[in-house]
Amino acid sequence: MKITLAQLNYLIGDFKGNAEKIKNTILQARDRGSDLVVFSELTVSGYPPLDLLERKEFVEQCLRTVEALAPWCHDIAAIIGSSSVNPAPEGKNLYNSAFLLYDGKVQDVIHKSLLPTYDIFDEYRHFEPNTEVHVVAVGGKKIALTICEDLWDEQPIEMEFGKSRLYTFSPMKELAPSKPDLIINIAASPFAYNRIGAKREVFTKKARDYGIPVFFVNQVGAQTELIFEGGSLVVNPRGEIVAELKRFEEDVRDFELEEVIRTAKVVSVSDPDDYIPEVHDAIVLGLKDYFGKTGFTDAVLGVSGGIDSAVSLVLAKEALGADHVHSLLLPSQFSTDHSVTDAEKLSRNLGVPYHIIPIKTAYSEFEKLLQPYFKDLPFDVTEENLQARIRAVLLMAFSNKFGYILLNTSNKSEAAVGYGTLYGDMAGGLSVLGDIYKSDVYKLARYINREEEVIPENILVKPPSAELSPGQKDSDTLPDYSLLDQILYQYIELQRPEKEIIEKGYEPEMVKKTIRLVNRNEYKRYQAPPILRISSKAFGAGRRLPLVASYDYEEKTDVL
């Protein structure tokens, strides 16, 4: 049996474009002699369609697309993902389904049983969980056809408060007595740099547990903040990875089932601990697809001579091309000369057009306007933020006039502790580094410079500073980023309580202050732009906390 895995990049709601891509892949696989071609989860609509699933006409178009694809499946079978209607008088309107097409029609439909409702997932909002499972037959082989989470009923756990088994029902345990010849899992599993190894372990363990090969087909491409890395897998019955499809690219590969079962070859896969190259490729794909799928072509960003804007500029140039990225250098009276020259050198290295627009005059005019009201009150954060907001006004003016998307360059460390100005340096249509801690931004810069100096060395070695007041440095108010980021990771990604973080050897007052800053700045993150997600817990849709709350997260022994 020859199986084709089709790892493709879809646009949500583009039924015509998605269907054409699926049809062409089916025909090409048939011409190569494949018996079965497998596509990813919710193929025809793109994933995740979110509340478009509440629109009757959207669901009807999904089903019409499935029906339109079926006649192309002669002399080959295809598995495609789509929503389908729940005919029962009660329950949710829809199922998340996998359709088996051959002989020109729909031959079987499998519905998803385990509906993730955590982090960025909210599938129970729309779909009814399936409770009855069965194998499907293709070419005399019995297939355990599962949809994403259906194979994730047991998964490695890192968080302090959680379970390794999220569900009481296991589709594969129910399918096992039917003695399937192989497992197929169609998925839309987003990238997270700290879950690369754990994701692979899900599929290798299932192959070992049941002694049958696993074919995993993942979506590739970005949908707003979510980035899907592809990396589809073929695993032999002994739990060894036989093949991994390209990461962050479309890929279509053919496999002979019998060869997969026999082979003992273990493919070389990327090292989960060496995650910076993966983060780099993920962000470039996220930027490329955000612009390509929204129809925008050009980006503008403020380049300060600091590390964050430098890395953001490089990534934007790699994604869009030098002619489609525009940098504005907006120095104030507090900006150092080397910051301007560093930013100029970077822009020239990249071949990116840039303009220098000093804001000192504009800032002075605002001071004059406000002086009758501020009188002799001392210089403080108000005047610092004023500079950031003047810069945002100028950047947005370029965005409006020329149709550019303003890219936000703030990093995750800053977003976590509120080290940013609303309507100032937090402005933008898309956040490039909002899910990357500052210490990893430096690693990313070193990776960018691995072959030649793209980012000037002075940007990498000078102390981080917002340059909003004389001699200002980030270290004046924040711990060293290498230490701060460790505490933030424990608290945000692993969700460990204050007490346990302190017990790991971190200075108590530093932990308390960091947690207090994270909790008190939720209101800022509510107004941040969409953040390209590269971790298991990004700010945004995957981390929902009350904006108004009195819980201070400190350990309490007495309630009353």
Catalytic residue among 2, 41, 199, 229: 41
Question: Pairing relation of β-strands 182-187 and 141-147?
Answer: parallel
Which among 148, 199, 318, 467 is annotated as catalytic? 148
- What is the Rg, in whole angstroms, of the alpha carbon atoms belonging to the chain? 26
Angle made by CA atoms 45, 49, 50, in degrees to the nearest 5 = 160
Catalytic-role residue among 2, 21, 62, 112 = 112
Residue 313's nearest CA partner among 300, 294, 323 is 300
Q: Are 255 and 243 in contact (CB under 8 A)?
A: yes
Tell me how far apart the alpha carbons of residues 84 and 66 are, in angstroms, rounded to a whole number: 10
Q: Concatenate the DSSP letters of all residues of 228-273 into one string.
A: EEB--EEE-TTS-EEEEPPBSS-EEEEEEHHHHHH---------TT
Helices (H) and strands (E) in the chain, counts: 17, 19
Whether 258 sits among the annotated catalytic residues: the reply is: no
Residue 112 annotated among the catalytic residues of the structure = yes
Q: Could you give the CA distance from residue 477 to residue 497 in angstroms, rounded to a whole number?
A: 23
To the query of whether residue 16 is one of the catalytic residues in this protein, the response is: no
Is residue 184 within 8 A of residue 210, CB to CB? The reply is no
Q: What kind and span of H or E run contains 97? A: strand 94-102
Contacts (Cβ under 8 Å, ≥6 apart) of 155: 164, 166, 198, 202
Which backbone phi and psi does 64 adopt, to 5 degrees? -65, -35
Catalytic residue positions, numbered: 41, 112, 148
